[in-house]
């Protein structure tokens, strides 16, 4: 926003996208005019000046009527409507032009809830009240203002502190702010997840760095117990200062308000715009991308050269789920069916970067294309274009195969979570790059975005140490990708590829360690993906989502940590150091994943030893973590005859594993299975009992039987272990354990007990007792 004097001289300027709802300085001042400078996302530049006329406020109420969940409201030229919806949500629309409808061409909303019929209205003198099951909407008369209250009509959820205000360029809503009220959301907001006292831009740009918002969404939620989605395809500015002022660049308000705690609000929002999609299991494995044909940075190559790189993953025992083989502008492809077949032999899927359209989807899918990455050249500024592209790319795979569409996209809008991984764009590697991405991806989850990620090691610069540090923590994101063929070495400035073994030792072994750990944890992450399709809540979470009553989770230390699911706390190292300070652990008992040392929270850990091969990683007591066997490098070659559980006993806890065939859409018709595990650890010398239920359900490839491995992090070693009714042999050490078909031993160095059962039918449950 720029402010000019009456002579046209610029006298003030504020950073960021202009606020179309900015308060115009009254004419009585006689000197200033507020000017909005429109922003062109394609050319990354401002396009001119647009002077805003003085704003108009809603006047006094002039009309109120309605019943059965829908109410018509008027204040002079302003027409408004309140719809109470079946999922305990409120839709509030207002326009001085009298047009109350969805934005033209909108298809963000997947399922429009029906209006509640069981509502009633009453006249309270200074306001009309509309009562629904859980809330009361107050419609104040002089002037017209709105306030949403809980069912008691005494406790405010939100309250307008000024009437709706509009100009020719937009409309603004102004709310009061609670003394400790916090605000989240806005989609992907690079570098932040908590927005109190911040101005949050909601629009699409191509600023890929801290402060950018290319995958933003017109949605925010509040710790006061509500969230709001603005049904719009126009940019906006949300100011979460002492007066919460939100507005879009249009003369209308169309807002869906959802009430409840944060997780419930995310669930209601994603029920409206679309739940996160269910990825194929190979989509949760690492991806690799490069241009193999007409690559100006690497010299002339051929598409089939991609197979030599995929061979490298196999030779180095590193998982690879998929490859983009034409990664770059001007990069075409040749021999696509042969390339796809070759990648499949190495247990990887074929993917294509789509620069400017999808003219050959059917043929490409038949050649084996199972992954799409879209680009800004035709996705453009996002909004409706992004959703069209995303839906089209996903459908192109699914209409021409039995696979699940797996799409990546760099610029998007509300609803993109239903069809795409959101990618934060072209960045250059630095320690700062690692730092600001941590709250970015955790914060995106608070807008129902289950898959948000950035390139491992960035696209443009490479450093072996920073690459290893970046890969470590990104192994705990659901989706990751290495971008090759564009990077240069930070020191030598020479072109360099970025496959995780190319830096040599010790980096190769460190990178392998975390990639194999990511692979082993796929049953855990895959179950979280299934959960997200129902709840809208993704795996990567700020600590405040799991510990909403702990104000320290909003502090400076916790900002650069995240939860991977409910059980893992990850505290990445984002500076050139071997010691991590300021690790905040919330209430509960936490176990260091590497050493077994326990911490009692809430506490802050300083001087944590974090050499290059160590990611600070903690597990919450009570956790039950499913894992594939050691050495697994592909979902296709894993030993289906074994499933492991990593267990941290405390009290009684339960976990439900989800499984299906991993690739087809048959799961949507019920082709899947679940298995519940319950751990009871009463303590005081009494037996710890692990109850493993039957695997309930069917899917293609389901194991009829399997052995189970249990790693039990208990305080005391058992004297004997009984599994499935039989006493297991006590083995001397790890070597004997690895050689045995079943048995148990306790590691004297760590106190951890390792157990393996014989192969058992998945149709029947069994118990394990540590006595």
- 666-691 pLDDT, tens digit per residue, is 999 999 999 999 999 998 778 999 99
The pLDDT of residue 4 is 41
The pLDDT of residue 53 is 53
C-alpha dihedral (477, 479, 482, 483), degrees to nearest 10? -120
Looking up residue 223, the CATH number of its domain turns out to be 2.60.40.1760
Please report which confidence band the pLDDT of residue 330 belongs to, taking 50, 70 and 90 as the band edges.
confident
Looking up residue 702, the CATH number of its domain turns out to be 2.60.40.1180
Same domain, residue pair 147 and 264: yes
Domain-terminating residue out of 251, 273, 295:
273
Write the DSSP string, 420-432.
-EEE-------HH
Same domain, residue pair 347 and 459: yes
Please report which confidence band the pLDDT of residue 205 belongs to, taking 50, 70 and 90 as the band edges.
confident
Same domain, residue pair 233 and 350: no
Per-residue pLDDT tens for 718-754? 999 999 989 999 999 999 999 999 999 999 999 999 9
Q: Choose the most confident range, by mean pLDDT, from 11-25, 379-393, 704-718.
A: 704-718
Domain-terminating residue out of 502, 535, 568:
535
Instruction: Kindly tell me if the per-residue pLDDT of 473 is higher than 60.
Output: yes
Looking up residue 417, the CATH number of its domain turns out to be 3.20.20.80
Please report which confidence band the pLDDT of residue 35 belongs to, taking 50, 70 and 90 as the band edges.
very low
Same domain, residue pair 105 and 245: yes
Same domain, residue pair 146 and 92: yes
Residue 745's Cα: distance from chain center in Å?
39
- For residue 419, is it within any domain? yes
Same domain, residue pair 158 and 248: yes
Same domain, residue pair 672 and 717: yes
Q: Are 683 and 650 in contact (CB under 8 A)?
A: no
- 3-state SS assignment for residue 534: helix
Same domain, residue pair 178 and 215: yes
**Which comes out higher in pLDDT, residue 122 or 49?**
122
Tokens of 512: 């392998």
Residue 370 gets which letter from DSSP?
E
Per-residue pLDDT tens for 358-378? 889 999 999 999 999 998 776
Same domain, residue pair 437 and 310: yes
Residue entry with tokens 């692990």? 690
- For residue 88, is it within any domain? yes
Please report which confidence band the pLDDT of residue 715 belongs to, taking 50, 70 and 90 as the band edges.
confident
Cα–Cα distance between 420 and 438 in angstroms, integer?
20
φ/ψ (deg, to 5) at 304: -65, -15
- For residue 330, is it within any domain? yes
- For residue 596, is it within any domain? no
- For residue 551, is it within any domain? no
**Which comes out higher in pLDDT, residue 12 or 751?**
751
- For residue 605, is it within any domain? no
- For residue 411, is it within any domain? yes
The pLDDT of residue 19 is 41
Please report which confidence band the pLDDT of residue 99 belongs to, taking 50, 70 and 90 as the band edges.
confident
Same domain, residue pair 31 and 104: no
- In the 3-class helix/strand/coil scheme, how is 261-322 assigned residue by residue? CHHHHHHHHHHHHCCCCCCCHHHHCCEEECECCCECCCECCCHHHHHHHHHHHHHCCCCCCE
- Residue 622, sorted as left (phi over 0), alpha (psi -120 to 50) or beta, turns out to be left
Domain containing 11 equals 2-56
Per-residue pLDDT tens for 541-579? 999 999 999 999 999 999 999 999 999 999 999 999 999
- Cβ neighbours around 162 below 10 Å, total: 16
Per-residue pLDDT tens for 269-289? 999 999 999 999 999 999 999
Q: Which residues contact 565 (CB under 8 A, 6 or more apart)?
A: 524, 525, 528, 539, 541
Pairing of strands 349-354, 540-541: unpaired
Domain-terminating residue out of 520, 535, 550:
535
- Average pLDDT of the chain is 91
- For residue 761, is it within any domain? yes
Check: pTM over 0.85? Answer yes or no: yes
> Domain count of the chain?
4
Same domain, residue pair 172 and 190: yes
What average pLDDT does range 404-412 have in this prediction? 95
Same domain, residue pair 329 and 233: no
């Amino acid at each position: 926003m720029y402010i000019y004097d009456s002579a046209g001289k610029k006298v003030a300027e504020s950073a960021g996208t202009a606020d179309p709802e900015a308060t115009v300085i009254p004419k009585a001042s006689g000197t200033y005019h507020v000017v909005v400078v429109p922003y062109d996302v394609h050319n990354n530049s401002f396009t001119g000046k647009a002077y805003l006329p003085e704003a108009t406020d809603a006047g006094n109420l002039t009309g109120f009527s309605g019943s059965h969940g829908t109410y018509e409201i008027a204040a002079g030229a302003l027409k408004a409507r309140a719809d109470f919806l079946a999922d305990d949500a409120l839709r509030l629309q207002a326009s001085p032009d009298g047009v109350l409808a969805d934005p033209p061409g909108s298809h963000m909303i997947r399922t429009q809830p029906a209006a509640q019929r069981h509502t009633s209205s009453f006249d309270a003198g200074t306001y009309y009240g509309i009562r629904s099951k859980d809330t009361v909407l107050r419609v104040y008369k002089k002037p017209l203002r709105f306030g949403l209250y809980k069912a008691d009509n005494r406790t405010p959820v939100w309250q307008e502190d000024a009437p709706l205000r509009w100009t020719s360029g937009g409309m603004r809503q102004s709310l009061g702010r609670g003394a400790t009220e916090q605000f989240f959301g806005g989609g992907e907001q690079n570098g932040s997840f908590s927005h109190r006292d911040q101005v949050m831009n909601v629009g699409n740009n191509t600023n890929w760095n801290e402060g950018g918002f290319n995958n933003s969404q017109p949605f925010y939620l509040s710790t006061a117990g509500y969230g709001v989605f603005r049904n719009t395809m126009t940019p906006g500015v949300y100011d979460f200062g002492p007066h919460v002022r939100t507005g879009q660049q249009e003369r209308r308000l169309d807002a869906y308000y959802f009430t409840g705690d944060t997780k419930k609000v995310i669930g209601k929002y994603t029920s409206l715009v679309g739940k996160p999609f269910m990825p194929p299991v190979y989509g949760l494995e690492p991806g690799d991308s490069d241009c193999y044909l007409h690559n100006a940075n690497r010299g002339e190559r051929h598409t089939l050269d991609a197979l030599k790189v995929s061979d490298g993953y196999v030779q180095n025992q590193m998982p690879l789920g998929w490859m983009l083989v034409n990664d770059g502008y001007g990069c075409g492809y040749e021999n696509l069916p042969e390339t796809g077949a070759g990648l499949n032999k190495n247990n990887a899927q074929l993917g294509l970067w789509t620069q400017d359209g999808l003219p050959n989807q059917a043929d490409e899918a038949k050649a084996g294309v199972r992954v799409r990455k879209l680009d800004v050249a035709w996705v453009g500024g996002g909004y409706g274009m992004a959703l069209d592209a995303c839906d089209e790319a996903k459908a192109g795979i699914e209409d021409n195969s039995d696979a699940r569409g797996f799409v990546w996209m760099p610029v998007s809008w509300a609803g993109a979570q239903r069809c795409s991984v959101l990618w934060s764009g072209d960045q250059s590697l630095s320690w700062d790059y690692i730092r600001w991405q941590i709250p970015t991806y955790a914060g995106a989850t608070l807008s129902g975005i289950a898959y948000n990620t950035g390139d491992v090691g960035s696209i443009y610069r490479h450093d072996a140490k920073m690459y290893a540090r970046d890969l470590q923590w990104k192994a705990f994101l659901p989706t990751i990708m290495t971008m090759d063929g564009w990077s240069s070495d930070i020191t030598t400035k020479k072109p360099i590829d970025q496959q995780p073994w190319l830096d040599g030792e010790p980096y190769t072994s460190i990178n392998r360690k975390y990639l194999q750990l990511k692979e082993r944890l796929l049953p855990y992450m895959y179950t979280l993906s299934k959960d997200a399709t129902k709840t809208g809540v993704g795996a990567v979470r700020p600590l405040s989502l799991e510990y909403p009553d702990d104000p320290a989770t909003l502090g400076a230390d916790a900002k650069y940590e995240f939860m991977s699911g409910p059980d893992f706390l990850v505290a990445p190292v984002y500076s050139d150091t071997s010691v991590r300070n300021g690790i905040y652990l919330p209430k509960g008992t936490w176990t260091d994943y590497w050493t077994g040392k326990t911490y009692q929270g809430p506490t802050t850990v300083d001087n944590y030893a974090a050499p290059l091969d160590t990611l600070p990683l903690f597990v919450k007591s009570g956790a039950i973590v499913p894992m594939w066997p050691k050495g697994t490098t592909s979902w296709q070659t894993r030993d289906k005859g074994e499933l492991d559980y990593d267990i941290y006993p405390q009290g009684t806890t339960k976990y439900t594993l989800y499984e299906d065939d991993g690739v087809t859409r048959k799961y949507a018709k019920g082709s899947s299975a679940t298995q519940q595990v319950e751990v009871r650890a009463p303590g005081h010398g009494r037996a710890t009992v692990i109850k493993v239920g039957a695997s309930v359900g069917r899917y293609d490839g389901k194991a009829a039987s399997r052995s189970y491995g249990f790693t039990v992090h208990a305080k005391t070693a058992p004297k004997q272990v009984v599994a499935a009714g039989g006493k297991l042999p006590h083995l001397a050490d790890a070597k004997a354990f690895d050689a045995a078909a079943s048995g148990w031993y306790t590691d004297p160095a760590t106190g951890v007990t390792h157990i393996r059962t014989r192969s058992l039918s998945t149709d029947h449950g069994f118990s394990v007792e540590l006595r």
